Structure 1
Amino acid sequence: MSAIAGVLNYYGEPVSIEAARNMMQGLQKYPADDVRTWYDGSVFLGCHAQWITPESIHERLPYYDEQSKLAITADAIIDNRGELFNRLQVAKSRREQMADSELILLAYLKWGKEAPQYLIGDYAFVIWDEKRQHLFGARDLLGNRTLYYRHDARQFVFCTVINPLFTLPGVNKGLNESWIAEFLAIPYILDSIDVRSTLYSSIDQIPPAHTFQVANGKLTLEQYGTFTVPDKKIKFRSNAEYEEAFRQVFLEAITSKSRTFRQVGASLSGGLDSGAVVSFAVNPLHKAGKTLHAYSYVPPSDFVDWTSKSMLADESSYIRATVEHVGNLTHSYMGFSEQNSFSEIDDLIDLMEAPYKFFENSFWLKGMLEQAQRDDVGVLLNGARGNYTISWGPAIDYYARLLRNLRWVRFYREIKLYGKIGNIGRSRLLPFIGKQAFPFLTRMPFSKREPNKPLLIHPDLAARTGVIEKLTNHDVGLTESTMDEFAAREYQFNHLAISNHQGTSTTKLSLRYSVCERDPTSDPRVIRFCLSVPVEQFVQNGRDRSLIRRSTAGYLPDKVRLNQRVRGVQGADWIHRMLPIWRLVTEEVKHLCRDSAVSQLLNVKQIQASLAKIGDSPKPELAYDPDVRLIMQSLIVYRFLQKIS
């Protein structure tokens, strides 16, 4: 992938060569295979290119097509090349060498602003249409690549990352109070529900699934696509037909996302999602003469698993079963014995250009990418969104629906089989299912949805921005969720903030290491297929996640494929790793509580209360305790504020 940048000055004012050079110099911190710029009076386009696909080696960006009078700069990998070649009637002799940027231009020439609706892949691109005198661009449907911009009365400037925009006159680092309030009020991983703004008041971003057009000094944003659960489901005659259809669409997604002239890697846990990705990827790679590089995180050897019997912090035995069964891969267990969530804070802030919340696994996410870079991996596959696509199948919520709809025969048969597989008696299952089916019977009348977590945000900032009321109807962990897994799946793909959050970390991590993380489980073709499959294919004969379990027969070992009793839980060891240096954490947090600038944003009283509650040495089993998480988040925000002050 690449980093792109550009400037459009209004009223014919020429672009300052110095300003353009400064923007491109801001990208020099990232590795590049090629760096090019293009000027045309009031327009500047730049590309800091990282070559991933075979076609990208021949790609020269920015690219100007003399015949159409179109110029493009792009950060893009297009996955449905074959389909587009046919639709656009591209001669077969041109297809193999045609770069993705040229394919995007052809799509724009045919479909205009509707072109992104036909593109599948990870992309952000900008086109200068000389004839129409406007800029046009888009960000992919899942927001896997970022695009930030500054728009004022004089010009429109854009870049893949934020910091190069600060090299331009008039672009300052003033904080966006509304964004900061959301970041501080949301207790879990999501940064903000606002997909247009950023933490800086002078910089905005193109949301996922949106196009933009800049003409005559006016910026227009339009959403071009969504994911909806269709009323009419796919109907096949047998389970075997559903399984074969799934394997076909999933293999297509994996094959297209594995396209690189370098090596292919994958993150591998002991679960179904990453296991399915790895098991489907190895055969096409073997045919291409390649071996898959698989990386697995494991806790340190002295960690004592404190999680419940149904959870598993060390998934080594399941990972090993997958590795031995699948074959054709080089596998590494990665323990990162000298690293922890504290040691990576400053580097992650620089990398993310912002405070962040994924501290539990930050050190090993970076570590795997570092190793992948050393192994010359161009694409690192993962199964990050598989829980909502390929391995979706919420048994309890489905049984609650059966009960609510009075489908007694199927309900009785299913819970009997489910209990047998999971060794759970019906006397334990029925009350739980009943609560899911009829939640209003256990909910207090007229009860308000108040925050039930300790809040990091200062009460005055919360009141001034109205952030608590704004977040109340969003499933962000602020209050107890009222969503079942059916509603949660729709929310996952139609609430753009989730895609925006994931795309931000994916883009910035990939640029640092020149390793492109790609998720076949969130390929639009896979998502739409899974949303179109009847729920009875996902929960069947007492099996949750039934479709993926049946479809991976022969691909995955039964130990993994049919495991319905334990689930992996990554990050459970993060406190254990930090115990030797927890005194440093405590001292720094106490120091931030005395900082008058910080106390205007952060709830210092709550920080002090949480610190007192935790004590001098937190227990490892507090890894997901909201007070411990609040302490770490306060520390990360403090470090960020120090850097920009």
Structure 2
Amino acid sequence: MSAIWGVIDLQGKKLQAGISQVFAESYQNCVIDRYEEVTVETVYLGCGIQYFTKESVGEKMPLAEEGAFFTADVVLDNREELYAKLLGSKKPLTEMPDGELLYQMYCDYGKDCLNDLLGAFAFVYYDRKEKRAEIVIDAVGDRCVYYAVQNEILYFSSLMEPLIKLMGAGLNDRWITDFLAMDHLFMSNEAEETPYKGIYRVAPAQRVIIQEGKIEKEKYWNPFENFRELKLANDEEYAKAFRQVFCDAVKGVMRGRGDMSILLSGGLDSNAVAAVASGYLKEKGEKLYSYTSVPLKDYVVQKTGWDLEDESEAVQKTTEYLGNVEPTFVNLEGINPWKDRQGELRIMEMPYKSVQNMLWIPECMRRAYDRGSRMMLTGSFGNTTISYTDLEVYMNDLYQRKKWITLYRELKIFSKADGFSMRYAKKQIRNAGKNSSKIKTDWNSLYGKSFVRPAMVEKEGAAERMLAMKRKFAEASLCHDATRKLMVQDVALRQIGEAGTKHSLATGVLLRDPTKDKRVISFCLSLPVEQFCKEGKERRLVREYLKDRIPPHILQAKTKGKQSADLAYRMSLKWEEIRQEWIQLYQSYPDSRYVDSTKACTELLQNPDMEKYTTQMLVRHMYTLMVLELENQMEA
């Protein structure tokens, strides 16, 4: 696993001098174990190898032979299966690192092998004779690589910084406008554009071919192609099938060099991963090391509602139940999400919205690295797969299929279990179809409380994209077939993979999420809606089919973990200083192309008391100001 970068002149001309230095400067702050390069007159390839697995220590990358050039950022989860498919003579698997195995597979089978690959990867293959370059990303976008083409010269890199410098790239108005206009945690509404003009990210499961001045794109994995819903005889058969695919996914990612670690919360998903992973480790007499975000010591935990703001007690019980899990609790003493933003901005290379997660996840990764762990498990995608549930969709789906008796029975059970009236539920179901077709188009409905400048919204046509997004989500609530399409979105996969790649380069630890394994995704997509939610029980895959593995207190919990619950409190410790800084920044840039600085500043001037601000309001100001600072930086 590694960072990759390079420059290829597709016309066969000699590359300009000094290019390698631009990349070297951009990667100097990354935790790289070994740097390797290949340079000929028309091709320059680089690889910053990170020793995430024992095999990676012997990795030789980039590769160059007989006019073919190859560099890869890769960890494979099905090495034995792929090795068995190789053609011709081959060295022992124990002597073949992942990059070499991937290269041999691609030489033997070309693009036809891509669906056989399990794992996280990004690679570039160049055929000098054909003057054809190919860039490929794993099916779920776990790794990212950026590229740009100018005058038939291909530039690519795991980081954007060298491409920005080499291209002299300016800001992408459409990306930044949409980033601000979406008043939620999505950063982009498509999978390939970046904040910079002319620089693109390869989308999940995408193969990009650059040849003869043309750029072609292919999608090699689509879980809905030849889709069939899985029909099994009973719940016992569904349980057996689910356990097999999920446990295989967990075991497949446990190839880390050094101790195995995990981001562990009090929720179902990370506990499911921990339960299965700790079982495998226990067989070898090994421990699983967990890292958990907890609030500052003097923060007063709110114990109302569904949120569990301090998960330390739940995690402690989990470690005791599993027996071979050693916990570490991280409270980020002295860290302020605004004051300490520059470090994360340098890592992410763009404004970011998930301020809460950007506080604790990289810090946990750093601590794991210091302990000697190079791989960290997570269950962050589990809400979309193994613990997915949506009672509203289930009820609407039964209504649409005219399953009246089942609908009445389920309404009766769930209304009693969840405390809502049947009359209210019936009204909501009857109105669901009507409401989905009545999408409001006023400013607040499309852009919420966003501080995006209206003139930019109009110029970039953001309204059409925001409306399409709202319509898609509204229609998805009507039936499970529509919901399936939203369970695997390239936009969401891109956002997770982009952050994961950047954080692995910055910390030297690789995040692996078996709940995002493409086999797990395909399996969950194939299930009937009743497998997720029925008979008064939600999140059934985990609660029912893994109940013999997951700690009882997790199965019985009615709350949901809330990481970085003390974000607003951290801000309050220096609130007036921060508020005045924000006001000054907005007032310094009244003519921003993207930000309505007057509107944003007015909110701060009219509401001096910290109590007036929700966490969402604070986060909105932070990412808006990140855009403002980026705009000023690019124009300086």
TM-score bin (small chain): over 0.9
Q: Select the residue among 457, 464, 479 that pairs with 1:462.
A: 457
CA contact (8 A) 1:187 1:455 kept: yes
CA contact (8 A) 2:257 2:373 kept: no
1:490-501 mapped onto 2 (5 Å cutoff): 490-501=484-495
Q: CA 1:531/1:71 → structure 2, altered by over 3 Å: closer, same or farther?
A: same
Q: CA 1:491/1:636 → structure 2, altered by over 3 Å: closer, same or farther?
A: farther
2:263 equivalent in structure 1: 267
What amino acid is the match of 2:40? D
CA contact (8 A) 1:227 1:493 kept: no
Q: CA 1:263/1:640 → structure 2, altered by over 3 Å: closer, same or farther?
A: farther
Q: CA 1:95/1:234 → structure 2, altered by over 3 Å: closer, same or farther?
A: same
Please give the alpha-carbon distance, in whole angstroms, between the structure 2 residues aligned to 1:554 and 1:628: 42
2:621 equivalent in structure 1: 631
| Structure 2: unaligned runs, 5 residues or longer | none
Please give the alpha-carbon distance, in whole angstroms, between the structure 2 residues aligned to 1:619 and 1:112: 58
1:286 is displaced (CA, Å) by 2.6
Please give the alpha-carbon distance, in whole angstroms, between the structure 2 residues aligned to 1:537 and 1:642: 51
CA contact (8 A) 1:349 1:640 kept: no
CA contact (8 A) 1:607 1:630 kept: no
CA contact (8 A) 2:589 2:597 kept: no
What amino acid is the match of 1:119? L
Please give the alpha-carbon distance, in whole angstroms, between the structure 1 residues aligned to 2:439 and 2:180: 28
Q: CA 1:489/1:100 → structure 2, altered by over 3 Å: closer, same or farther?
A: farther
1:187 equivalent in structure 2: 183
1:37 equivalent in structure 2: 37
What is the CA deviation profile of residues 242-292 of structure 1, one whole-angstrom value per residue up to 9, with x for unaligned ones?
212211111111111121222211111111100000001012223344311
What amino acid is the match of 1:94? P
1:395-474 mapped onto 2 (5 Å cutoff): 395-422=391-418, 424=419, 428-432=421-425, 434-441=427-434, 447-448=440-441, 450-452=443-445, 453-474=448-469
Q: CA 1:446/1:493 → structure 2, altered by over 3 Å: closer, same or farther?
A: closer
1:46 is displaced (CA, Å) by 0.7
Please give the alpha-carbon distance, in whole angstroms, between the structure 2 residues aligned to 1:19 and 1:348: 26
2:535 equivalent in structure 1: 541
1:508 is displaced (CA, Å) by 0.5
CA contact (8 A) 1:611 1:631 kept: no
The two structures have a TM-score, normalised by structure 1, of 0.92
Q: CA 1:187/1:442 → structure 2, altered by over 3 Å: closer, same or farther?
A: closer
Query: RMSD over aligned Cα, in angstroms?
Result: 2.5
Please give the alpha-carbon distance, in whole angstroms, between the structure 1 residues aligned to 2:51 and 2:514: 20
2:603 equivalent in structure 1: 610
1:417 is displaced (CA, Å) by 3.2
Q: CA 1:10/1:447 → structure 2, altered by over 3 Å: closer, same or farther?
A: closer
What amino acid is the match of 2:307? M
What is the CA deviation profile of residues 542-588 of structure 1, one whole-angstrom value per residue up to 9, with x for unaligned ones?
1011121112222112221233x322233332101110111122112
Q: Select the residue among 341, 351, 367 that pairs with 2:347.
A: 351
CA contact (8 A) 1:5 1:23 kept: yes
1:79 equivalent in structure 2: 77
1:592 equivalent in structure 2: 585
Please give the alpha-carbon distance, in whole angstroms, between the structure 1 residues aligned to 2:574 and 2:400: 52
Please give the alpha-carbon distance, in whole angstroms, between the structure 2 residues aligned to 1:444 and 1:288: 56
1:390 is displaced (CA, Å) by 0.5
What amino acid is the match of 1:79? D
CA contact (8 A) 1:5 1:158 kept: yes
Please give the alpha-carbon distance, in whole angstroms, between the structure 2 residues aligned to 1:389 and 1:91: 40
2:569 equivalent in structure 1: 576
What is the CA deviation profile of residues 599-642 of structure 1, one whole-angstrom value per residue up to 9, with x for unaligned ones?
3321123202332454332357x223xx4332222222233334
What is the CA deviation profile of residues 516-567 of structure 1, one whole-angstrom value per residue up to 9, with x for unaligned ones?
011110100111111112222222321011121112222112221233x322
1:98-117 mapped onto 2 (5 Å cutoff): 98-117=96-115
Q: Select the residue among 130, 133, 152 that pairs with 2:131.
A: 133
What amino acid is the match of 1:567? K
Q: Select the residue among 264, 288, 296 that pairs with 1:292.
A: 288
Q: CA 1:500/1:312 → structure 2, altered by over 3 Å: closer, same or farther?
A: same
1:153 is displaced (CA, Å) by 1.6
Percent same amino acid at aligned positions? 28
Aligned length: 632
1:503 is displaced (CA, Å) by 1.2
What amino acid is the match of 1:257? V
CA contact (8 A) 2:147 2:155 kept: yes
CA contact (8 A) 1:229 1:532 kept: no
Q: CA 1:488/1:637 → structure 2, altered by over 3 Å: closer, same or farther?
A: farther
What amino acid is the match of 1:483? A
The two structures have a TM-score, normalised by structure 2, of 0.93
Q: Select the residue among 324, 344, 360 that pairs with 2:356.
A: 360
1:62 equivalent in structure 2: 62
CA contact (8 A) 2:122 2:144 kept: yes
| Structure 1: unaligned runs, 5 residues or longer | none
1:130-529 mapped onto 2 (5 Å cutoff): 130-168=128-166, 171-228=167-224, 232-306=228-302, 308-422=304-418, 424=419, 428-432=421-425, 434-441=427-434, 447-448=440-441, 450-452=443-445, 453-475=448-470, 481=474, 483-484=476-477, 486=480, 489-529=483-523
What is the CA deviation profile of residues 75-100 of structure 1, one whole-angstrom value per residue up to 9, with x for unaligned ones?
11111222222333587962222122
1:6 is displaced (CA, Å) by 1.0
Please give the alpha-carbon distance, in whole angstroms, between the structure 2 residues aligned to 1:381 and 1:510: 12
Please give the alpha-carbon distance, in whole angstroms, between the structure 1 residues aligned to 2:179 and 2:230: 40
Please give the alpha-carbon distance, in whole angstroms, between the structure 1 residues aligned to 2:156 and 2:125: 12
1:308 is displaced (CA, Å) by 4.2
What amino acid is the match of 1:143? G
CA contact (8 A) 2:441 2:467 kept: no
What amino acid is the match of 2:162? P
1:11 equivalent in structure 2: 11
